[in-house]
Chain A
Amino acid sequence: MSTATPSTGAPAFMPSAKTQNIPTSQRPASRLDTASPSGDTHNGLPVLGHAVGKTDRYIGMTGAQILLQMLVEHGVTDAFGYPGGAILPTFDQLYEKQLNFILVRHEQGAGHMADGYARATGKPGIVIVTSGPGATNTITPMATAYMDSIPMIVFSGQVRTYVIGNDAFQEADVTGISRPVTKRNYLVKNVKDLPRIINEAFIIATTGRPGPVLVDLPVDVTTAKIEETIDDAPYLPGYRVHTAGHSKMARTAAEMINASERPVLYVGGGTIISRAWNEVRQLAEKGNIPCTTTLLGLGAFDENSPLSLHMLGMHGSAYANYAVQESDCLIAVGARFDDRVTGNLKLFAPKAKIVHIDIDPSSISKNVKVDVPVVGDARICLTEMAQYIEHKPRTAWFEQIAHWKKQYPFTWQDNSPRAKPQAIIEAIQKVTAGKAVFTTGVGQHQMWAAQFKRWSIPRSMVTSGGLGTMGFGLPAAIGAQVGRPGELVIDIDGDASYIMTAMELATIKQYNLPVKVAILNNNFQGMVRQWQQLFYKGRFSHSQMVNPDFAAMAESFGIRGIRCDKKEDVLKTVEEMVRHPGPCVVDFLCEEDENVYPMVASGKGLHEMELGIVGTAPPNSGRDMGSLA
């Protein structure tokens, strides 16, 4: 059953009749699904699980019982967290096992697991933690999810309402602390508000530009019972989602693209959030437009396509960066012109008219002045735009791109006694054929994974982009594995990133999750070392790591651990890792001095990148490189 969506395409989620100009008598009984922006589901999740409005359904239930029942109604099947005093009423409900609950070793792990779960499945990640330190430990994951627009809901315990503000044991002003890194947060002061707040939390976390929501639950709220009829309809008069783009703008954009000689599609994580990968492909193919993706957009466009320019930006491909700088029409889809993508803003895409499709109006013209803004859901806007797009040969443009691709492919040289990290990525690519969910930490290994794996499947790359959170890889892999049981999940990690959250190996063991971990171990914070080498005269200040024996460490958790210190063993070790039925950690000892190239140094334009090895005669070009050769 659906009501008329207001014609503005920007419905306010407010049940009040006066604001929608629909007489109360003509409105159907308020149902959550009527407030759904698209009128259907979002990322496969029923945004709104059940009829809402004035109801007796919660009478006699405690806050904790309501929470668990509503989580199930909202389609939640898995949650991550850690108990503690202030959240015990909720954990007592979890004893009944309505949910598959994953007990973590540190609340940060719970947050990143929920994040990895959300990125791998499209469903919101759920975290349940206690007050004080439990809640503050989720701040980094929420900041990570906020930067990358990942749907997540954190339920944190809180001290009793009447001692809030008294510096009680394990009290922290969690709504205050989390405000800048959440899309919305709530302190529930009365159990009667809880059902409405849970409904709102799901809407806010999953619709529009998704993001984390925190719900702070005092003990006396989760233990109190509802004794009367309450209204659980969401009340969000200030929340608008601009789904359908402006038709005129879509048409103007299409005409601009048709008239352009050197267009480039620049595709970001928003296309994955809105499930617009087919629409991106259709637009690129129909219009004959080359396509580059951001780090978060990897998988949204098949990198084996001849139209693919692979990743752009600081460590993007030379041909993507040159193409953007030479382009006369840049079409940004679900991307936000991050500084790691644009380099020096003043020098960015100087010849291009810019079309920007984004669901968040505040993204438009934030960093780069946009010529044609299309505010809306990428999938809807691309479909609308595609009907006006004409196929153009653009021969000269594709010849130029082919020249760059031939001249500057991603490459590396096998010239050290130890394995080169790129070799390990290529071996993983070869063994898996890309058919797995990959997570990463942050740093050199992350960039090599982005460069040397060929990405072709949406939701196959789970990585912390905006915040660049080291330690993300392992818990994110656990979350992805929980969300996609039976699939191969590989954490491609660096030694420094990995050890930040390595205690979650115990979680892997406890739930026997067959997560694979490939550590590219150079005994350094590699990217820090690279910057120190290039910009700080080789003064390696506190970037060298003395690591444990990662294989033995895994074994001590009861997990298969392999150490691979010979480069000729790389391929067979990767095969062994993938073949192993249970969890497996492989410590690949790598060459220490390898740098990631190309590299756009900060303050430089994309075309001023250091090519490094990429600028030399490419001895290894053409292998496993898709369309590159």
Chain B
Amino acid sequence: MRHVISALVMNEPGVLAHVAGMFSARGFNIDSLVVGRTEDPNFSRMTIVVIADERTLDQVRKQLAKIVTVVKVRDFKDTPYVARDLMMVKISAPPATRSEIIELANLFRGHVVDVGQTSLLIEISGEEEKLDAFVELLRPYGIREMARTGVIAMPRGASSVTPGAEEDVKADPAKPTMSKPSTKAALPTKRQPTQQELEATPPG
């Protein structure tokens, strides 16, 4: 089972090594790990996707929290959350297929960020499954190079993973939020043209 964990960590050397070392030393399985800056220069945020059963997830969470430089840990097991992955993909695009590829990119709400004689560079973000589907569609055209950031995620509503926040902040009922309760309901409508529909379009 894949689980997304958000960890707020102190922004100093050795923290990433400590977290990564803990995962390898205890035999936990990282699917992806993303580190980046936050609103506070003292802290970085790690978003870690682990493959684990519930009991292992519990240990992962506790072992992360035990690291002194890890400030806050939260898993999104029982929380609605938004997750995004960013990808850049360079694809073979001779003039004959270029417009097809651009059309596909548009359907997936991707952007062409660079055009070469025989290639296109597309930037696309979204849930991992969407990106996976896009990659499969592009594969027949010839993928030259691909890079993905891995997942970053954030809980919906008012709750947050920040140093002061309680572990499980219940959204204040007095302040209704804009979010919808389930992840599924909030998926971009553009996601509808799924593989089958798109595969109906021959790659030419």
Contact A237:B71 (CB < 8 A) given known A180-B25, A362-B59, A362-B63: yes
Complex: how many Å from CA A362 to CA B66? 7
Query: Are the C-beta atoms of B68 and A183 separated by less than 8 Å?
Result: yes
Query: Are the C-beta atoms of A179 and B59 separated by less than 8 Å?
Result: no
Query: Are the C-beta atoms of A237 and B58 separated by less than 8 Å?
Result: no
Complex: how many Å from CA A204 to CA B66? 12
Contact with B along A162-193 (1 / 0, CB 8 A): 00000000000001100110011101000000
Contact A184:B163 (CB < 8 A) given known A362-B63, A365-B58: no
Q: Does A548 contact B (CB under 8 A)?
A: no
Q: Does A366 contact B (CB under 8 A)?
A: yes
Q: Does B111 contact A (CB under 8 A)?
A: no
Contact A175:B10 (CB < 8 A) given known A183-B68, A184-B68, A362-B63: no
Query: Are the C-beta atoms of A19 and B164 separated by less than 8 Å?
Result: yes
- In the complex, which of the residues A16, A175, A236 contacts B14, with contact meaning CB atoms closer than 8 Å? A175
Residue of B nearest to A366 (CB): B59
Q: Does B181 contact A (CB under 8 A)?
A: no
Contact with A along B52-83 (1 / 0, CB 8 A): 00010011001101111111100000000000
B residues contacting the other copy or chain, number (CB 8 A)? 25
List the B side residues contacting A21 at CB < 8 Å. 164
- In the complex, which of the residues A12, A179, A183 contacts B17, with contact meaning CB atoms closer than 8 Å? A179
List the B side residues contacting A19 at CB < 8 Å. 163-164
Complex: how many Å from CA A187 to CA B17? 14
Q: Does A75 contact B (CB under 8 A)?
A: no
Question: Shortest distance in angstroms between B67's beta carbon and chain A's nearest beta carbon?
Answer: 7
Contact with B along A10-34 (1 / 0, CB 8 A): 0010101011010000000000000
Query: Are the C-beta atoms of B68 and A238 separated by less than 8 Å?
Result: yes
Complex: how many Å from CA A175 to CA B62? 23
Query: Are the C-beta atoms of B9 and A238 separated by less than 8 Å?
Result: yes
Complex: how many Å from CA A204 to CA B25? 22
List the A side residues contacting B21 at CB < 8 Å. 179-180
Residue of B nearest to A13 (CB): B68
Residue of A nearest to B18 (CB): A179
Query: Are the C-beta atoms of A179 and B14 separated by less than 8 Å?
Result: yes
Contact A238:B55 (CB < 8 A) given known A175-B14, A180-B21: no
Contact A362:B10 (CB < 8 A) given known A179-B18, A239-B68: no
- In the complex, which of the residues A179, A238, A362 contacts B71, with contact meaning CB atoms closer than 8 Å? A238
List the A side residues contacting B10 at CB < 8 Å. 237-238
Contact with A along B91-118 (1 / 0, CB 8 A): 0000000000000000000000000000
List the A side residues contacting B25 at CB < 8 Å. 180
Question: Shortest distance in angstroms between B146's beta carbon and chain A's nearest beta carbon?
Answer: 32
Query: Are the C-beta atoms of B68 and A360 separated by less than 8 Å?
Result: no
Complex: how many Å from CA A187 to CA B66? 20
Q: Does A49 contact B (CB under 8 A)?
A: no
Residue of B nearest to A20 (CB): B164
Question: Shortest distance in angstroms between B108's beta carbon and chain A's nearest beta carbon?
Answer: 39
List the B side residues contacting A183 at CB < 8 Å. 68
Complex: how many Å from CA A224 to CA B66? 33
List the B side residues contacting A240 at CB < 8 Å. 65
Q: Does A361 contact B (CB under 8 A)?
A: yes
List the A side residues contacting B163 at CB < 8 Å. 12, 14, 16, 19, 237
Complex: how many Å from CA A184 to CA B12? 13
27 A-B pairs whose Cβ atoms sit less than 8 Å apart in the complex: A14-B163, A16-B163, A21-B164, A176-B14, A176-B17, A179-B14, A179-B17, A179-B18, A179-B21, A180-B21, A180-B22, A183-B68, A184-B68, A185-B14, A187-B14, A237-B163, A238-B10, A238-B67, A360-B66, A361-B62, A361-B65, A362-B62, A362-B63, A364-B62, A365-B55, A365-B59, A366-B59
What would 16 more interface pairs be, CB under 8 Å, given A179-B14, A185-B14, A238-B70? A18-B164, A19-B163, A176-B17, A179-B21, A180-B21, A180-B22, A184-B68, A236-B68, A237-B71, A237-B163, A238-B67, A238-B71, A240-B65, A360-B66, A361-B66, A369-B55
Which 7 A/B pairs are nearest by Cβ-Cβ distance? A362-B62, A238-B71, A184-B68, A19-B164, A237-B71, A362-B66, A239-B68
Seen from chain B, the residues whose Cβ lies within 8 Å of a Cβ on chain A are: 9-10, 13-14, 17-18, 21-22, 25, 42, 55, 58-59, 62-63, 65-72, 163-164
Seen from chain A, the residues whose Cβ lies within 8 Å of a Cβ on chain B are: 12, 14, 16, 18-19, 21, 175-176, 179-180, 183-185, 187, 204, 236-240, 360-362, 364-366, 369
